[in-house]
Structure 1
Amino acid sequence: MIKNIYFFLLAILISAQGFSQVEEVNPPDYIKTVTFRSRTSSQGQLPIIRLGEAFHLEFDVLTTDEPDFYYTIEHYNYDWTKSNLVKMEYMRGFDNYRIVDYQNSFNAYQLYSHYDLQIPNQQTRALIKSGNYILSIYNEDQEVVFTRKFMIYKEQLGVGVALKRSRDVSYIDSKQSVDIVINSGALVLNNPKQTVKTLIIQNNNLKTAITDVKPQYTIGKELIFRYTKETSFWASNEFRFFETKDVRGANVGVQFIDLKDIYNSYLFADGPRYNQPYTYNPDINGNFQITAIDTDDADIEADYTNVHFKLRYPQLTDGSKVYVCGNFNNYTLEEQNLLAFNTEGRQYEGTIKLKQGFYNYKYVVVDAKGNLDEGRISGDYWQTENNYKVLVYYRDLGARFDQLIGFGEATSVDISN
């Protein structure tokens, strides 16, 4: 009897631990263009923010009733389990306030309201601890509308990042490897193989990040990571892109435009690139930027267009699905960006409503078992220019939360053997 009770309690504990690792809640279809911005960049970006730096979360609501939204901010550990800190330990001020800064669209076919939450503000005066955070947006019924992860770092050590071709000769033409050197300087890292954790991110995509790689060895104050397989990524290909800053005329990547209830932008049909030689084509590594010509404030004057994607690719009959994604939709793979095969046109097609701007995107395949293959359509080439970010977390012996104490960044434009 006691043994059965023990296993029952153990099962509850394991279940609770599993549910505590949170995933982001994606916004409903009437909320678009969820964007983090800082003073250093106007692009939609992965929010990795220096401690004390201000940032904005902005989004559009494609309704006419100006709904009320509220926000909360929670602190999390490295593995996205809730930390043991209470709010007063990581926040000066309070959250759970209404977002009061919003404006209605002007001179646009698609009516919307643009919301802008700045942190810090009069209520939430400062976030004072480094680490992982989740920002949750609620409606007036206290229902979660969407959530976004962001990270705040306090630079306490140096993080060197270098890009190499794969050391595994089987993948030397298709993978890139990330070498890391962490220099602790004056900071004493106790038992670093247990207390130091790393996160390696390619092109601002948290969903494909490599986690918890341990240092191979230590030389003085330096922790060295020079793995053959553990820190390697598929190199993929340069992102495809299009621009809709002028809704009355075709721009880069747009074949023609049609005005119905709103503007419709029809992109040129794309084809597979896995069987073609690599060609360098500058991109912004999956990001996007809202821009519109002849406007004073693109936040409220840029219009929305239905962007029509076409991919000339044979129909997949093994249960695999084709998606179009990028930072514009947080690399999410869901019904809104799933492409359907048109048997008459012999191509995959899909339509996404997007605000005027410049967008990077890629086509990816998810097989019947849920495995992601980013290179099946685009190919993988070691020469591809990718952005890599490395975050270093530390929890000292006896500490109650994971600090984010280092941040390094590099691009594979300088990749070497």
Structure 2
Amino acid sequence: MKRGISPMAIRFWLIFALSVMRKIFSSLLLLISSFVVSAQQEDYYQKHHLRYENYTYLNTLKTVLLHLEGNPISKPIIRLGSNDQLKLSFDDLDLIVKDFNYTFVHCNVDWQPSELIVSEYIEGVQEDFITDYKYSSNALQQYVHYNLIFPTVDMKPVRSGNYIIMVYEDGDRENLILTKRFMVLEDKVKIKARINRATVDRSYKQEVDFSIFYNENYELTNPYHDLRVVVQQNGRWDNAVTTLQPLFVKNNELEYDYDDENVFPGGNEYRYFDTKSLRVKSENVVDIVFQDSVRHIYLLPDKKRSFLVYNFWGDINGKYVVRASLAFDNETDADYTPVHFKLPYHENIPKGNLYIFGQLCDWQFKKECKMHYNHEKLRYENTLLLKQGYYNYEYVFLKDGKTIGDNTLIEGSHWETENDYTIYVYHRSLGDNYDRLVGMGTFSSSAKIIDR
């Protein structure tokens, strides 16, 4: 006689199965939760850990600028022991006024912290407050504008070299809001440069040949070991040349005259647009539309220029200047507008990404500056929230896994293009524990270029 499973047994096994499933489900939830928390912690760390570069840690901060006081397109460099001052400015779209502090961090030539202790490179207090702020006026997008002029009598750097200014909130150095690079120059050597049409790849590259001169009283024991030279094109750091050594040493002159190691693609003159007026369409602006309570700027669709002949026009080599028509105070009267970029292209370029590039994106490959491909309209698109002014920009392609961008793919490259080249000379003698910035010079290819 066959016997079936009793109802009591069925009930037992059902309860047991449900109990096991509940434990498995709880374990899965715990595991998923731990992954989410870990990801959030990692994301927080990535956003808030100190970076020795130009970086904004607070999403509401816009238009972060650092330059010589009175010269908005200058490099942030002051002379050691002089009365030179830098101006840091930024806008916070959060209208709550905050307590911001700042300090300096001394860095080596490679922009990593030097071995100096704070008291060795800062004279006076080691942190101070940003107290100069004002509210925007006549702007649809309201903001609080902050200014800082430094060095001050209470706090100043007393060693030459590379620095970052670190700004943080409520005296908490882990609550960072921005970092910006600047330099202090100890003028000990002189630089003469010649921007030539390249010996190799003559049709599209420029060669930066230069000599460094120093006084016979200046102690330079081993220039091959003690000196580091950095050559920068416009404001870019991604393609800076940092490994050059003197090719010839004669008397008190060091000559750097290479054929390949010191060359750069000439690129093209920068694209530009002007949003000083939000009522009249300027060159390269196709439309101004009021929607969602703000004015939107639509630029003319850009074109690929890689196969076009060279055409000169004046630019400011990738920089921008804040300006608003009829403004009493550009800092607080200028409004913010979404600016729409479009680049028609027949395909989504594989194995990399295309970026809007220039000072408007901090000369970096930022996520918010990445172009997105519209497969339906066969074009790249992006929108940036920018303060009114005059802007330069270009399109740069960054291959996957690479750190140096390629501006020739979209923009083309010509040896005739006008570029600025800045040469920095660093010196670390035997026994020194930091890199001194002992020479600096900026040279325009338009004034110095030689077709040889």
Q: Same fold (TM over 0.5)?
A: yes
Q: Secondary structure at the match of 1:207?
A: coil
Alignment match, 1:346: 378
Aligned CA distance change for structure 1 residues 120 and 20 (closer, same or farther; 3 Å): closer
Within the candidate set 421, 424, 430, 1:397 is matched to 430
Q: Which amino acid aligns with 1:175?
A: K
Contact conserved, 1:205 with 1:330, CA < 8 A, in 2?
no
Give the Cα separation in 2 of the matches to 1:37 and 1:21: 20
Between the aligned residues of both structures, percent identity stands at 33
Within the candidate set 322, 333, 338, 1:306 is matched to 338
The alpha carbon displacement at 1:369 in A equals 2.8
Determine which structure has more spread, i.e. the larger CA radius of gyration.
2
Within the candidate set 318, 329, 338, 2:361 is matched to 329
Q: Secondary structure at the match of 1:344?
A: coil
Give the Cα separation in 2 of the matches to 1:72 and 1:54: 15
Alignment match, 1:60: 91
Q: Secondary structure at the match of 2:126?
A: coil
Contact conserved, 2:52 with 2:181, CA < 8 A, in 1?
no
Within the candidate set 412, 416, 420, 1:383 is matched to 416
Give the Cα separation in 1 of the matches to 2:68 and 2:363: 20
Within-5 A mapping of 1:86-101: 86-101=117-132
Alignment match, 1:111: 142
Give the Cα separation in 2 of the matches to 1:120 and 1:48: 12
Give the Cα separation in 2 of the matches to 1:363 and 1:357: 19
Within-5 A mapping of 1:198-213: 198-213=229-244
Give the Cα separation in 2 of the matches to 1:271 and 1:223: 44
Give the Cα separation in 2 of the matches to 1:36 and 1:399: 29
- 1:46 lines up with 2:75 in the alignment: yes
Within-5 A mapping of 1:232-311: 232-260=263-291, 261-311=293-343
Within the candidate set 35, 60, 74, 1:30 is matched to 60
Give the Cα separation in 2 of the matches to 1:27 and 1:175: 36
Give the Cα separation in 2 of the matches to 1:27 and 1:243: 28
Q: Which amino acid aligns with 1:38?
A: L
| Larger mean Cα displacement after TM superposition, 66-75 or 354-363 | 66-75
Aligned CA distance change for structure 1 residues 95 and 304 (closer, same or farther; 3 Å): farther
Aligned CA distance change for structure 1 residues 339 and 210 (closer, same or farther; 3 Å): same
The alpha carbon displacement at 1:67 in A equals 2.2
CA offsets 1:317-356 (integer angstroms, 9 cap, x no match): 4232111021122112122111111222211110000000
Contact conserved, 2:50 with 2:176, CA < 8 A, in 1?
no
The alpha carbon displacement at 1:302 in A equals 0.6
CA offsets 1:341-383 (integer angstroms, 9 cap, x no match): 1222211110000000000000011123335211100011100
Alignment match, 2:400: 368
Contact conserved, 1:58 with 1:116, CA < 8 A, in 2?
yes
Alignment match, 2:27: none
Alignment match, 1:3: none
Aligned CA distance change for structure 1 residues 280 and 317 (closer, same or farther; 3 Å): closer
Alignment match, 1:14: none
Q: Secondary structure at the match of 1:211?
A: coil
Q: Secondary structure at the match of 1:209?
A: coil
Give the Cα separation in 2 of the matches to 1:88 and 1:369: 40
Give the Cα separation in 2 of the matches to 1:134 and 1:230: 29
Give the Cα separation in 2 of the matches to 1:256 and 1:214: 51
- 1:132 lines up with 2:132 in the alignment: no
The alpha carbon displacement at 1:312 in A equals 1.3
| Larger mean Cα displacement after TM superposition, 176-185 or 89-98 | 89-98
Give the Cα separation in 2 of the matches to 1:174 and 1:104: 47
Contact conserved, 1:33 with 1:355, CA < 8 A, in 2?
yes
The alpha carbon displacement at 1:21 in A equals 8.9
Alignment match, 1:408: 441
Give the Cα separation in 2 of the matches to 1:28 and 1:165: 43
Q: Secondary structure at the match of 1:180?
A: strand
Q: Secondary structure at the match of 1:299?
A: helix
Q: Secondary structure at the match of 2:332?
A: helix
Contact conserved, 2:249 with 2:255, CA < 8 A, in 1?
yes
Contact conserved, 1:20 with 1:82, CA < 8 A, in 2?
no
Aligned CA distance change for structure 1 residues 82 and 368 (closer, same or farther; 3 Å): closer
Q: Secondary structure at the match of 2:56?
A: coil
CA offsets 1:7-28 (integer angstroms, 9 cap, x no match): xxxxxxxxxxxx9994443344
Alignment match, 1:16: none
Gaps of 5+ in 1: 1-18
Question: Normalization by structure 1: what TM-score?
Answer: 0.91
Give the Cα separation in 2 of the matches to 1:207 and 1:28: 23
Contact conserved, 1:200 with 1:390, CA < 8 A, in 2?
yes
Contact conserved, 1:132 with 1:149, CA < 8 A, in 2?
yes
Q: Which amino acid aligns with 2:334?
A: A
Question: Normalization by structure 2: what TM-score?
Answer: 0.84
Contact conserved, 1:311 with 1:348, CA < 8 A, in 2?
yes
Q: Which amino acid aligns with 2:322?
A: I
Give the Cα separation in 1 of the matches to 2:70 and 2:236: 19
Alignment match, 1:148: 180
| Larger mean Cα displacement after TM superposition, 180-189 or 285-294 | 180-189
Gaps of 5+ in 2: 1-48
RMSD: 1.7
Give the Cα separation in 2 of the matches to 1:74 and 1:334: 24
| Larger mean Cα displacement after TM superposition, 30-39 or 273-282 | 30-39
Contact conserved, 1:21 with 1:81, CA < 8 A, in 2?
no
| Larger mean Cα displacement after TM superposition, 108-117 or 202-211 | 202-211
Contact conserved, 2:68 with 2:77, CA < 8 A, in 1?
no
Contact conserved, 1:249 with 1:256, CA < 8 A, in 2?
no
Within-5 A mapping of 1:165-180: 165-168=197-200, 171-180=201-210
